[in-house]
Amino acid sequence: MRIGLFIPCFIDTFYPDVGIATLELLERLGLDVAYPFDQTCCGQPMGNSGFTAECHAVERLFVENFAGFDAIVCPSASCTNQVRNKFSVDDEAGRLVRGKTYELVEFLHDVIGLDRLPRAEFPYQVTLHNSCTALRALDHEPAPEMNLPFHSKPRALLATVEGLTIVETDRAGECCGFGGTYSVTEEAVSARMGLDKVTRQQNTGAAYVVSADMSCLMHQQGCAARAGIDLNYLHIAQILNGYRP
Amino acid sequence: MSARDAILAAVRGNKPSQAVPRPDVPFFDRLADDALVDEFRRRLEQMGGRWLDPGPAEEPLAPARARIAQAGIVCSNVARLPGTRTLAAGDAPALLHDVDLAVVRAAFGIAETGSVAFSERELVVNTIGYLAQHLLVMLDPADIVGNLHHAYARPEMHAGHYLVFQTGPSATADIEGVLIHGAQGVRSLTVMLVARTIA
Amino acid sequence: MKRIDIDHAEGRSRRIDTPGHHPEREAQPRGAIRRGKRPIDHAEAAERFLAAPDHLAFHDQRLWDLRQKRDREAFAIPEWEELRDLASSIKDYALANLDTLLEEFERNAQANGITVHWARDGAEHNRIVVEIMRRHDAPLLVKSKSMLTEECGFRDHMQEQGLAVIETDLGERIQQLDNEDPSHVVVPAVHKLRADVAAVFAKTLGTDPDNHDPAYLAEQQRESNRPLILGAGVGMTGANFLVAETGTVVVCTNEGNADLSANVPPVHIVSAGIEKIIPRAGDLGVFIRLLSRSALGSPITQYTSHFRGPRLGAEMHVILVDNGRSARLGMQQFRSALKCIRCGACMNTCPVYRRSGGLSYGATYAGPIGLIIDPTIDQRKYSALPYASTLNGSCTAVCPVKIDIHQQIHAWRGIMAEQKEPSRTKRTAMKAAALLLAHPSAYRVAVRTVGTVLPHMPRFAVYNPLNAWGRGREVPNAPRRTFHDWYKANRT
């Protein structure tokens, strides 16, 4: 299986370690992974604001970059959702690429299988942050508002990590306030939501917050730092890849 | 064009063109018949209603009589539990403004919600259920239905001009979420299970 | 009047003491500034709400509390999701057959002695009510809460006509006496603290300004309203549902004030939007099971009242009001918003609403459902509202009739962008970002060069001046090199 690695723009710029962890993890699974150099972004900043027409060329570029792969893997739920469910390119090539694009957790859980994960150890308490997209669009867990049987893909993955325990954040399913461009259009409410989120994370006593979405964590990290709250934010790929502090 | 014709024409012009099937609503039966009374009581009390145990077999109405004896102006629609005032259909609704206790039999009860149902037949004057300070309700346990689906299958829905499901007393939490009973209507609602043959 | 501390579904909320006692009463934050047709600035009003910590803390916690109660009730019913599906399909059916169902309702209501009126808009609705009141020589109308009459500007109009209107719902009465709109469709005064209510009542009802006890305040309102109810010539209610099959009007309240308004005065007027129609009495089981559980987390409202005809010796009127609804029916993308049953669950769950207050939306409908209804009423005035959302989707997941609220919010952004509603700065930035992101080599140059200005801040992702991000948050540290460069160095 030839895997195309899609590293979202903000991970590329701010969190290269998350990209590296994702790549190494996939390589340790024996997969043939390549990173197409001409990739830029999924177009979410424009799409999220309603500028869908402006997204066309970006989407076209994405499809060109990733057309040749058997699967495209991305360490971000919201970017995956953008490609899979929001792209307007709807020709055959576009549909093919959209259908083959996976978010990392669902790829590991649904396509690879838990038994093939490499050994990882993380003897600490963590609290899990599921992004709104992961919960309500990608089915990492059922939407917390709905009366559905429980399952959790990220928890199943984290359960394979030795020594790791999860402690629950109060109001875990509440949005942290990032919301893409929302973080700047309504920065005051956004930052307040972030402050409330990181305060509840701090109240768990865990030293680490782990998530499949680095964009939420970028926002939360910024809010925690401003409030002087000492929490460490890690992408799930880093933990699964054996990150040790 | 009249407003009616204009609105209907606009609706006709704008409604979706595809036919949509009309779903049928099942009854969702979940409670066994012998569980109805317990569930009714649990929900009644959850909703702020009060439960009054009937008296012993030889005098089942005694607790209700005791309540009536303590009250001032009592308006009763239950023949075996006379009050101080009787109602006739057509009496002015506002006449009930000074009633302390109203006594009414429920048409039926709903276990799922702890509600009691009254039509204008039971109320005689509808405001007896609202202007009185307190309400004492006789309910036949045989008249308790499991859930709202059964309630809406009752013949009362298709007869008469008024039907209300009352669940506990008048309540509000509009000021800082603090629950207050007796917001506008009755301050308390008490249910006593008594067969129709008794009262 | 007794204050109840025991377990009770709706009011299981305990009193929430706001953190840090403030000897000086915190001023109640007021809503969005309205300047004619100029777009409402939700963000500005929200900032003022956030600046009132006592109000903010209470508002957020109270509504989250309702959401938790809603979860408890919803999760106790195994068929919950099936009920939502049913409610959604019944509403779809009702909208697809709205014309014939309205005619069926009219026929059955008339057969039971109800006079049915039709009103194209708010003005027509208000005129019909004035006419009925004049005919009965009735100077005073008591009414229960109705969002439709808010749409119609009903109270203002009646005042201009010299007719008195008294709200009988406690929360709505508080808002009326404070000359403020309801901030929430179910709990209209939820943005006020007890001291705010005490101040309003002291000024308008002459109550003790130092007594903030909710039980005292509620009792004062009950006692001041009662003679008005007893003396009113006309009573008005809204309608939660209109049943076509039986000509029944269904009204749900917790205070019983709709029943007082309808059953005491000799005339009962029902103001109902045409979308309130459902086909059959049997459908009510689905909606009544969902409504109060979604709204307040109680299995049912204290009063669920079914009016099918006038009382002996009384009159009953139903006014079927369009006011933009038939036009909305034609907006395919936004049609499903007409399925709304006004439970307020989307407001309770919305993290933005809870932190900004309903009045910050500057519209009849606040919160997520408001974001998609308000632009259908005035696209320019409410052009910024679709951006007052993180698109987190919680609103959609709680909606008892399964309106895809957050998808519609996003769709409205698309329309606003097409209509050039966002500022020129934003539009230019978006176009520039799109151009850059479509050209990999230019993009790479940009990523490297921004580093010299502000360490690696992705301007392509943030069109606003940087301080919008940095005002309440730290900017992430910029690592030495991008993943792109690392990959080039290590894997090629």
CB of B187 within 8 Å of a chain C CB? The answer is: yes
Of A61, A88, A111, which closes a domain? A111
A120's enclosing H/E stretch is: strand A120-121
- Helix H, strand E, coil C: the string for B1-46 is CCHHHHHHHHHHHHCCCCCCCCCCCCCCCCCCHHHHHHHHHHHHHH
Among A234, A75, A11, A218, which Cα is nearest to C483's? Answer: A11
Q: Residues A158, A81: one domain?
A: no
Do C351 and C448 belong together in one domain?
no
Which pLDDT score, from 0 to 100, does residue C450 have?
Answer: 55
- The reply to whether A54 and A157 lie within a common domain is no
A225-229, B16-20, C8-12, range with greatest mean pLDDT = A225-229
Whether A68 and A165 map to the same domain: the answer is no
Per-residue confidence (pLDDT) for residue C460, from 0 to 100: 47
The CATH number given to whatever domain includes residue C97 is 3.40.50.10420
What Cα–Cα distance (Å) separates residue C145 from each residue in C188, C254, C472?
A: 9, 11, 39
Q: What is the pLDDT of residues A140-158, one digit of tens each?
A: 999 999 999 999 999 999 9
Chain C nearest CA to B109, separation (Å) = 13
Is C12 part of a structural domain of the chain? no
Contact across the interface for C393 and A136, Cβ inside 8 Å: yes
Same domain, C91 and C110: yes
Please answer yes or no on whether C392 and A179 come within 8 Å at the CB atom: yes
Q: Measured between CA atoms, how close is B76 to chain C, in angstroms?
A: 19
Distance CA C107, CA C248 (A): 11
- pLDDT band with cut points at 50, 70 and 90 for residue C467: low
Percent residues over pLDDT 70 in chain C = 91
Q: How far apart are CA C259 and CA A153, in angstroms?
A: 50
B-chain residues near C215 (CB < 8 A): 178, 180
Q: What digits encode the pLDDT tens for the residues C22-59?
A: 457 899 999 999 998 899 999 999 999 999 999 999 99
Is B17 contained in some domain?
Answer: no
CA distance to partner chain A, nearest, from residue C19 (Å): 14
Partner-chain contact C300 B19, CB within 8 Å: no
When pLDDT is averaged across residues C193-215 and rounded to a whole number, the result is: 97
Q: What is the pLDDT of residue C21?
A: 47
Domain shared by C240 and C126, yes or no: yes
The reported pLDDT for the residue numbered B25 is 97
**Same domain for C311 and C457?**
no
Strand boundaries in B32-133, DSSP class E: 50-52, 74-76, 101-105, 108-110, 115-119
List, for residues C272-289, the tens digit of each pLDDT value. Answer: 999 999 999 999 999 999
Q: Residue A211 domain-assigned?
A: yes
- Please indicate, yes or no, whether residues C91 and C151 belong to a single structural domain of this protein: yes
Higher pLDDT, A90 or B122: B122
User: Same structural domain for residues C302 and C362?
Assistant: no
What pLDDT was estimated at residue C94?
Answer: 98
Same-domain pairing of A153 and A97: no
Same domain (yes/no): A168, A86: no
| Element housing C252 (H / E) | strand C248-253
Asked, for residue C9, whether it belongs to a domain, the answer is no
Domain boundary among A54, A89, A111: A111
Residues A204-236: tens digit of each pLDDT: 999 999 999 999 999 999 999 999 999 999 999
Banded model confidence at residue C464, pLDDT cuts 50, 70, 90: very low
Provide mean pLDDT across the span C361-389: 97
Q: Do A6 and A49 belong to one domain?
A: yes
The range of the structural domain enclosing residue C51 comes to 42-71+344-422
Residue A118 lies in a domain: no
Choose the final residue of a domain: A81, A111, A141: A111
pLDDT for the residue numbered B2: 97
Same-domain status, A93 and A131: no
Mean pLDDT of chain A: 97
Last residue in a domain, options C422, C451, C468: C422
Residues of chain C with Cβ-Cβ distance to B149 below 8 Å are: 282, 285-286, 289
Residue C348 lies in a domain: yes
Kindly state whether C304 is in contact with chain B, defined as any CB-CB distance less than 8 angstroms: yes
User: Is residue C193 in a domain?
Assistant: no
Verify that C255 and C117 share a domain, yes or no.
Answer: yes
| Encoded tokens for C64 | 């989250």
Give the mean model confidence (pLDDT) for residues C110-126.
98
- Would B108 be classed as within a structural domain? yes
Mean pLDDT of chain B: 96
pLDDT reading at A18 higher than 50: yes
Domain count, chain A: 2
Asked if residue B38 belongs to a domain, the reply is yes
Output the pLDDT for position A84: 97
The verdict on a CB contact (< 8 Å) between C356 and A189 is: yes
Domain count, chain B: 1
Provide the pairing of β-strand B108-110 with A208-211.
unpaired
Query: Any residues with CB less than 8 A from the CB of C73 and at least 6 apart, and which?
Result: C9, C293, C297, C298, C299
Q: Which domain holds residue A169?
A: 125-241
Q: Is the pLDDT of residue C295 over 70?
A: yes
Q: Is B164 on the interface with C (CB under 8 A)?
A: yes
Both C308 and C323 in a single domain? yes
Model confidence at B105: pLDDT above 60: yes
Higher pLDDT, A228 or C10: A228
Question: Residue A164 belongs to a domain with what CATH number?
Answer: 3.40.50
Output DSSP code: residue A7.
-
Query: How deeply is B155 buried, as exposed, middle or buried, from its count of CB atoms within 10 A (0-12, 13-18, 19+)?
Result: exposed
| Pair of tokens at residue C397 | 């997941």
Question: Which residues have C-beta within 8 Å of that of residue C432, sequence separation ≥ 6?
Answer: none
Indicate the average pLDDT of chain C.
Answer: 92
Give pLDDT, residue C445.
Answer: 86
What domain range includes position B51? 30-193
Burial readout A125-143 (b: 16 or more C-beta within 10 A, e: otherwise): ebbbbbbbbbbbbbebbbb
Q: Using the predicted structure, report yes or no on whether residue A30 has a pLDDT greater than 90.
A: yes
With CA atoms as reference, report the closest residue to A62 among A38, A78, A91.
A38
Closest C-alpha to A145, from A187, A170, A173: A173
- Identify the helix (H) or strand (E) that includes residue C173: helix C170-177
Kindly determine whether residue C397 and residue A137, on different chains, have CB atoms separated by under 8 Å: no
**Do C246 and C135 sit in the same domain of this protein?**
yes
Let me know if residue B181 belongs to a domain: yes
Are chains C and A in touch, 3+ Cβ pairs below 8 Å? yes
Q: Is B43 on the interface with C (CB under 8 A)?
A: yes
Residue A194 and residue A231 in one domain: yes
Residues B33, B26: Cα–Cα separation, whole Å: 18
Q: Using pLDDT thresholds of 50, 70 and 90, give the confidence band for residue C472.
A: confident
The answer to whether residue B112 scores a pLDDT higher than 60 is: yes
Residues 6+ apart with CB under 8 A from A133: A77, A78, A80, A81, A213, C393
Return residues 398-427 of C near B (CB < 8 Å).
none
pTM of the entire structure? 0.95
Where does chain A have alpha helices with state H? 9-14, 16-28, 44-48, 56-66, 77-81, 92-100, 104-106, 132-136, 153-158, 182-185, 187-203, 214-227, 236-240
Q: Are residues A89 and A182 in the same domain?
A: no
**Locus of tokens 């970006």:** A58
Average of pLDDT values for A82-102? Answer: 95
Counting the structural domains of chain C, the total is 3
Predicted confidence (pLDDT) at residue B189 exceeds the cutoff of 60:
yes
Same domain, yes or no: A134 and A99: no
Residues C245 and C392 in one domain: no
User: Once rounded to an integer, what is the mean pLDDT over residues C416-438?
Assistant: 90
Chain B neighbors of C14, CB-CB under 8 A = 177
pLDDT at C23: 54
A197 and A164 fall within a common domain = yes
Q: What CATH code is carried by the domain that includes residue B171?
A: 3.40.50.10420
Give me the percent of chain C exceeding a pLDDT of 90: 83
Same domain, residue pair C384 and C431: no
Residue C15: pLDDT above 60? Answer: no
Half-sphere exposure (Cβ direction) of A27: Cα atoms closer than 13 Å: 10
Residue where a domain terminates, one of C315, C334, C353 = C334
Report the residue of chain A nearest C83, measured CA to CA: A147
The tokens 């305990």 sit on which residue?
C14
pLDDT tens-digit series, residues C410-419: 999 999 999 9
Percent over 70 (pLDDT), chain A: 100
Kindly state the average pLDDT of the residues C443-458.
Answer: 63
Same domain, C120 and C53: no
